[in-house]
Amino acid sequence: MKNLIRSFLTPLSCSALVAFTPDVQFGSRTLPNLNYDSFKIVETPTTRGATVIEAPVQQDGVKLYIAIDSDSFQNEERPGNGGIRLLNYQSREDAIDDAVRLAKGMTKKHDMFRTGFSGAKMVVDSDYEDLTGIERKGLMEDTAKALEALDGCMYTGCDLNTNDLDMDYLTEATGNKYVLAGRDSNVDTNIATAASVIGSILGLIDAKSQKDISELTFTVQGCGKVGSTVAKELIKYGAKRVQTCDIYPELALIEGCHAVTDWRTTPCDFLVPCANSLAITEEVATNFPPGLQYCCGATNSPYENPEARAIFDNRDVIHIPESISSAGAILADSVEWDDIKLYQTVEPTLMYGWIRDISRRKAKSLAVQADLKASNINTVLNSVIPSRTGEPVGKEFPDWIKQFHQQ
C-alpha cells in the first residue's frame, strides 16, 4: 500500500453486474484481461444477486472463488471490498455459498457506515484440512492476477486463515494496488475489528442504562486474534466475569478470564461470538441456558438460519448485527482509502478509539430505537443506515482526532 492508492480508484463503468454477459462485461466496460477460457462464471446474479467467478489457480487442490454483490456497482464509485478467506470446505457448493453470503454481508457492513465501498469476497477452497501445505506466495500471485483482471472493481485484505505475510506477497504481486490491509502502518485490523465489538457492547449497555458492565457475565466464543483482544478489553472495562471458549483450548487460557469447555451450555448474560459462521443453530438457540440477554460479536453470519435468530428474538436476546459490531476493519479501510498518509502515520490507539466510539453510538441508537426489544431490531435497522450519497465515513477521522485532543 503506497500513497497512490486513491489514484487506482478512478471511476469505472462497473455499475451493473446484472449485465455480466458472455462478453465478460461489467456494465458497458469490457475487461480485456479477463480471459473467459480461464475465468469461469459459476453463478450469475439472477440466482442470489451476486456474480461468482472461479479464477485460475496453478496449484492442485486449491480453488479461488470471487463473489461480487450485484448491489456493489449501482454506484460506480463504490468498488467491492472484502477479504480473502481460506478454508477446507466440505464441497464446492459450500465454498460458493460462503462466498455469496459473505459478499452480501459485506455490502451491509459498508452501507451501515457508508465506507465508500460495497460487498465482495474472495474464498479459497482447499481440498486439504491441513492448510500449512498451501504454497502461499504462488496463491497470492494467482490472486493478484484475478484482481488485475477485475481492474479496480474489487479491493481485498485479510480474512480467516490469511495473514500479513500473505498480504505482503499480494501487495508485491499487484504493484501496491487493490490491497487494503494496513500495509506500512501500525494499525492492526484484527484489533480494529475487536474495537467495533467492544464499542457495540458498550453501546448496548449504554442503551440499557440500568445495567453496568460490572454486573454482566460474558462468554467469548472463539479466542483467535479478535476474540482474545475482545476478552482482554472486557476485563479492562471491569466485566463481572469473562468466560472464554475455543476449539483449541489453549487459546482460551487468557489472564483474568475463565476458560469453559462448552460455550453452548455455559450460562451468561452476554454471548460474544468471535469464531466461524453459522455456529448458533436452532438447537443451540433453543437450549442455551436461561438468563442470556444479549448477543453481539465479530462473527459474520453467526446464526445458521433465520429460524435460529428468531428463537433468540423470541427469547428477547437483543442482537446487534455484525454490520455494526464487526465493521472495525472496513472502517479502517475507509480511512486507508481516503488518506493513506494519515493511515500510515496515525497512532493506532486513535484509530481504535474512533472505531469504538462510532460503533458505540451506532449500537446505542439502534437499541434505543428498537425500544430494547429483540424483535424490533430488524424492524428499525434501516433507520440507522445512512444514505449512500455523501462523503465516506473515513473522512470524519481527522475531525475526530482534533476533538479527541481538545478533550
**Mind listing the pLDDT tens digit for each residue in 345-399?**
999 999 999 999 999 999 999 999 999 999 999 999 999 999 988 899 999 999 9
Would you say residue 402 has pLDDT above 80? Answer: yes
Would you say residue 72 has pLDDT above 60? Answer: no
Q: How far apart are the C-alpha atoms of 337 and 185, rounded to whole Å?
A: 13
Would you say residue 4 has pLDDT above 50? Answer: no
pLDDT for 185 equals: 84
Mean pLDDT of 213-227: 96
Would you say residue 62 has pLDDT above 70? Answer: yes
Would you say residue 29 has pLDDT above 80? Answer: no
Tell me the CA distances in angstroms from 307 to 25, 86, 94, 289, 312, one per residue in order: 38, 28, 20, 18, 9
Q: How confident is the model at residue 184 (pLDDT cuts 50, 70, 90)?
A: confident
Q: How confident is the model at residue 35 (pLDDT cuts 50, 70, 90)?
A: low
C-alpha cell at 117: 465501498
pLDDT for 77 equals: 67
Per-residue pLDDT reduced to its tens digit, 289-340: 999 999 999 998 899 999 999 999 999 999 999 999 999 999 998 998 889 8
Q: How confident is the model at residue 123 (pLDDT cuts 50, 70, 90)?
A: very high
Higher-pLDDT residue of 224, 16: 224
Q: How far apart are the C-alpha atoms of 279 and 291, rounded to whole Å?
A: 19
Q: How confident is the model at residue 8 (pLDDT cuts 50, 70, 90)?
A: very low
For the ranges 19-23, 49-53, 320-324, the maximum mean pLDDT occurs at 320-324
Distance of CA 217 to the CA centre of its chain: 25
Would you say residue 16 has pLDDT above 80? Answer: no
Q: How confident is the model at residue 17 (pLDDT cuts 50, 70, 90)?
A: very low
Higher-pLDDT residue of 133, 16: 133
C-alpha cell at 319: 442482537
Would you say residue 21 has pLDDT above 50? Answer: no
Q: How far apart are the C-alpha atoms of 322 and 80, rounded to whole Å?
A: 18
Q: Mean pLDDT in the chain?
A: 88
Share of the chain above pLDDT 90, in %: 70
Q: Domains, the chain, ranges and CATH?
A: 5-174 (3.40.50.10860), 189-326+356-406 (3.40.50.720)
Q: How confident is the model at residue 73 (pLDDT cuts 50, 70, 90)?
A: very low
Mean pLDDT of 204-218: 92
Higher-pLDDT residue of 223, 157: 223
Q: Characterize the bridge pairing of strands 241-245 and 217-221.
A: parallel
Per-residue pLDDT reduced to its tens digit, 77-88: 678 899 999 999
Per-residue pLDDT reduced to its tens digit, 228-278: 999 999 999 999 999 999 999 999 999 999 999 999 999 999 999 999 889
Q: How confident is the model at residue 18 (pLDDT cuts 50, 70, 90)?
A: very low
pLDDT for 346 equals: 94
Share of the chain above pLDDT 70, in %: 88
pLDDT for 289 equals: 98
Full-model pTM: 0.82
Tell me the CA distances in angstroms from 152 to 3, 29, 76, 155, one per residue in order: 16, 12, 11, 7
Q: How far apart are the C-alpha atoms of 287 and 265, rounded to whole Å?
A: 8
Would you say residue 20 has pLDDT above 60? Answer: no
pLDDT for 183 equals: 64
